[in-house]
Structure 1
Amino acid sequence: MSQYTHYSDINQAQLQKDIDAIKKTIKVGEEDFQHLLKLEKWGKISTISGFLLIAMVTILNSYNSGMSTFDFWFFGIIGAFLIGVGNVARWSNVTHPILHGAYDKVPNIPHRYTKAGFAKGNRRYIDWLDWIKPDAWAFEHNIMHHYHLGELDDPDNVEKNLEWLHEMKIPMFLKYTIIYIFAAFWKIIYYAPNTLRILKNKDAKVEKLRETTHLEYSPFTESGRQLWLEYYLPYGLFKFALLPLLFLPFGWAATATAFGFLILSEIFANLHSFLVIVPNHSAEDIYQFTTPHKTQGEYYLRQIMGSVNYNTGTDFIDFLHGFLNYQVEHHLFPNMPSSFYQKMQPIVKDICKKHNLEYRQESVFKRILMTLDLMVGKTKVLRIEGV
């Protein structure tokens, strides 16, 4: 790290001017919206294709059609994987930029693709039905995470959130095992209840009430009851009750088969989203900060020093990464369309080079390994104290 300019020596005012200059080149238009629609279409195709594959193997198996065991599992697993990809695409490629208001400035854009219209009210069941409520995630992510990146107030501060695991007196391989299991169910175990907790803490601050520091799962508490009624049950009943029951005419065995593959698709979606989301700001070479930022220039500096990109390339490669492989660019300009990050990346790289700032970009698979080491307490983050 020593070959790069120290945090306190960066000319933050000039950095701000350089990055703000990019704003003058921004013109969000129909081309960016069409790019979003393409990504949305790819996600829908993945979901529908996956469901049709699962339907095919489920129905053929119910008729004892002579389908081999290999074909049954091969096409069923591929179907579950494709549903998982579609699930992640709805979140990262569609919901994420829209809830940042990335397309609000497109002339004559349909209201449902704006921050004010997307997934509001009953449209949640059409636009983004998941374990997480859109308004809770928007506050947790857009406000608390983006404007407190790497601070103790950042709800996605991995090292802080897993202090309990670091302190456990168990063999290291068991700590890794816990993380592997957690990754397969992390949206249910962590993301849904944590977004609810953060949203309720926002209300507590307004009403001058005590904030909640722990997650509540019990349906016999107020928060737990809200979690089950508004977060878990709408998505859970749709995916794991209604969809499997569509196969009831083919028998209970077919219903159970469909249910099993849909469970597998959810595990794939959790693992995929964990892979592309968690390593963005967590590893031993990522900086954290003990005080809030004071200027816009310092804010920009922290987004660069506290983020890492993955490998980038074609729309398809970026789609599979959920466009989270442009995390540095996204944190500098969170309300920009996904297509803009592809154009901005070379400019941001040049700015980092000008200021002798490290621009981190590596394979997502290398970064997840580094993140796992941080999660179990094998490594520690870099910390900027008292600035």
Structure 2
Amino acid sequence: MSFKKLKFVKPEESDFSTTLKERVNHYFNTNNLSKHGNASMILKTMLMLIMFLAPLVILNTGIVSSKLLLFGLYICSGIGMAGVGMAVMHDANHGSYSKNRNVNKYLGYTMNLIGANANVWKIQHNVLHHTYTNIDGLDDDINAPLFLRFSPNAKRYWVHKFQHFYVWIFYGLSTISWITTKDYIRINRYRKMGFFKKENEFRRELFKLTGWKLFYYSFAIVLPLIMIPIAWWIVLLAFCTMHFITGFITSIIFQVAHVIPTTKFPATGESDLIANDWFIHQLETTCNYSPKSKFFSWLIGGLNFQIEHHLFPNICHVHYRKLSKIVKQTAKEYNLPYLTHKTFASAILGHIKMLHQLGRPQLV
């Protein structure tokens, strides 16, 4: 399976992207601001890493003998893991955390520290999802297994009519899949698509992928199984609970920004061209939510401002709230959509509605 690259052809009459980029650059220049992270970003990084690692350190000492404390520590670590993924690793692997490439590189490895793989994720997220948002067959965030349907352009099966009921279980299992099989499946598929094609690159990446996973298993579950004086199956259940919470949180945060009734799902034909400005494509396929909640935005790494993130993934999320005013105003001037749910709850309801619609026969 080769990788079919599509090109976005900017309409001659559209200068939206040019105007928007000029205004965003003007904002940073006039306010003498860096597009990268700041002191609050560093503080958040330390807090998220401590929340993820400190409970595991305590568990590895073997002093925990209470089942309630066992689950509490693993759950705390799971929330920290989600925070590291959304608010630290995400910016670093987009190159927006710091202007120093090495800082981005090493903080990007926090993805490996939580059991996944940064280089595989960059292809899945930075290349495929961000470039071809909501395009079936290319956007890996909507390329779901057979029992889930995230696009009206994907084949429908009878089981999909129930997906709005059972999808939540699979969201919870997503990071368990990630730390076990998903990375291996993806790295093999990406090689067939033309990635990892340098000499011995695939073999080296596969070796590093396995090494990082073994390191993660060692401190996240093997040592606790050895050290904690509680039945092994209870420790394993607590570990799985941690991952279920992490997977549930991260899946919902990302999916409600794209798989909703108001976003578009462009279909591709035989042509390698898409007659649309890439910037306009991002507006049409992405939705913000809960824009007024500062704490919620802080907690999830600014991912409630998905429009700003998709338009400017090279800018750190700490700036998205301010940029949203510029993006919204510019979109309004050009009569373009700027999709927003007032609350996170309404975004989830929209996602449920879309899952239900995608399961109905008339959308085949």
The TM-score normalised by the length of structure 2 is 0.75
Aligned to 1:276: 253
Q: 2:144 pairs with 141, 161, 173, which one? A: 161
Give, in angstroms, the shift of residue 319 of structure 1. 3.0
Flag structure 2 segments of 5+ consecutive residues without an equivalent. 1-8, 150-155
- What is the correspondence of 1:71-220 to structure 2 with a 5 Å cutoff? 73=68, 76-105=70-99, 109=100, 112-115=102-105, 117-119=106-108, 124=109, 128-156=112-140, 158=142, 161=144, 165=148, 167-170=156-159, 172-173=161-162, 175-189=163-177, 192-193=183-184, 195-203=186-194
Deviates more, 1:305-314 or 1:333-342: 305-314
| One-letter amino acid matched to 1:235 | Y
- What is the correspondence of 1:236-315 to structure 2 with a 5 Å cutoff? 236-247=217-228, 251-253=229-231, 257-291=234-268, 298-313=277-292, 315=294
Q: 1:323 pairs with 293, 302, 307, which one? A: 302
Change (3 A) 1:359 1:172: same
Q: Is the 8 A contact 1:193 1:227 kept in 2?
A: no
Measured against aligned partners, the alpha-carbon deviations of 1:126-159 in whole angstroms (never above 9, x if no partner) come to 664133211110122111111111223433352x
Measured against aligned partners, the alpha-carbon deviations of 1:171-203 in whole angstroms (never above 9, x if no partner) come to 844x34542221111134365355424532343
Measured against aligned partners, the alpha-carbon deviations of 1:223-245 in whole angstroms (never above 9, x if no partner) come to xx979835754433431212332
Q: Is the 8 A contact 1:137 1:195 kept in 2?
A: no
The total of aligned residue pairs comes to 331
**Secondary structure at 2:265 match in 1:** strand
| One-letter amino acid matched to 1:344 | L
Give, in angstroms, the shift of residue 300 of structure 1. 0.5
Measured against aligned partners, the alpha-carbon deviations of 1:106-126 in whole angstroms (never above 9, x if no partner) come to xxx5x64224x445xxxx4x6
Aligned to 1:364: 344
**Secondary structure at 1:132 match in 2:** coil
> How far apart in 1 are the matches of 2:60 and 2:197?
49
Change (3 A) 1:57 1:77: farther
Root mean square deviation of aligned Cα? 3.8
Aligned to 1:213: none
> How far apart in 1 are the matches of 2:253 and 2:134?
18
Structure with higher Rg: it is: 1
Aligned to 1:46: 51
**Secondary structure at 1:309 match in 2:** strand
Change (3 A) 1:187 1:149: same
Q: Is the 8 A contact 2:283 2:307 kept in 1?
A: yes
Change (3 A) 1:96 1:13: same
Change (3 A) 1:188 1:77: closer
Q: Is the 8 A contact 1:373 1:379 kept in 2?
A: no
Deviates more, 1:336-345 or 1:236-245: 236-245
Give, in angstroms, the shift of residue 35 of structure 1. 2.4
| One-letter amino acid matched to 2:18 | K
Q: Is the 8 A contact 1:287 1:305 kept in 2?
A: yes
Give, in angstroms, the shift of residue 268 of structure 1. 0.7
The TM-score normalised by the length of structure 1 is 0.71
Q: Is the 8 A contact 2:37 2:96 kept in 1?
A: no
**Secondary structure at 1:59 match in 2:** coil
Aligned to 2:4: none
**Secondary structure at 1:361 match in 2:** strand
| One-letter amino acid matched to 2:17 | Q
Deviates more, 1:340-349 or 1:144-153: 144-153
Identity of aligned residues (%): 17
> How far apart in 2 are the matches of 1:228 and 1:45?
24
Aligned to 1:340: 319
> How far apart in 2 are the matches of 1:205 and 1:127?
19
Q: Is the 8 A contact 1:196 1:227 kept in 2?
A: no
Measured against aligned partners, the alpha-carbon deviations of 1:281-334 in whole angstroms (never above 9, x if no partner) come to 112211122346668x71110111110112134653113323211100011101
Give, in angstroms, the shift of residue 252 of structure 1. 4.6
Aligned to 2:34: 29
> How far apart in 1 are the matches of 2:148 and 2:293?
38
Change (3 A) 1:380 1:344: farther
Q: Is the 8 A contact 1:283 1:374 kept in 2?
A: yes
> How far apart in 2 are the matches of 1:374 and 1:193?
30
> How far apart in 1 are the matches of 2:160 and 2:53?
43
